[in-house]
């Protein structure tokens, strides 16, 4: 007697293997994020302090610039934003108040 053959086609088994592999890869990526990446970001926040609503005053070397120049350089990459930009206005006001 011959052994019974599987009822699924080789293509279906390949598709199932790829789906299982993708699920396993997602689990490994999530584990890596929670174990390695997330703790590293809490230990070393970004240098400009812009994340999470934080604000950093200009360093002493920037004292000859206005708050407008500082905000333009730090938060807008040196490109002058539209004067009506809400973020630009709030950062400039915060600079004038805190620095």
pTM of the full predicted structure? Answer: 0.39
Query: Residue 91: which of 61, 45, 64, 56 has the closest Cα?
Result: 56
C-alpha to C-alpha distance for 55 and 99, rounded to whole angstroms: 10
Q: Long-range CB contacts (< 8 A, 24+ apart) of 83-91?
A: 91/55
C-alpha to C-alpha distance for 65 and 67, rounded to whole angstroms: 7
- Assign 87 to helix, strand or coil: helix
99 residues of the chain, pLDDT tens digit each: 455 666 789 999 999 999 999 999 999 999 998 888 877 666 555 555 444 455 667 666 665 567 777 777 777 777 777 767 777 777 777 777 777
């Amino acid at each position: 007697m011959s052994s019974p053959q599987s009822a699924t086609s080789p293509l279906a088994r390949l598709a199932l293997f790829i789906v299982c592999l993708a699920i396993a890869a997602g689990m490994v990526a999530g584990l890596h994020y929670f174990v390695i990446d997330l703790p590293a970001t809490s230990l070393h926040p970004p240098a400009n302090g812009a994340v999470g609503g934080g604000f950093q005053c200009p360093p002493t070397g920037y004292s000859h610039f206005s708050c407008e120049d500082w905000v333009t350089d730090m938060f807008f990459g040196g490109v002058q934003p539209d004067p009506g930009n809400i973020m630009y206005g709030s950062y400039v006001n915060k600079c004038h108040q805190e620095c």
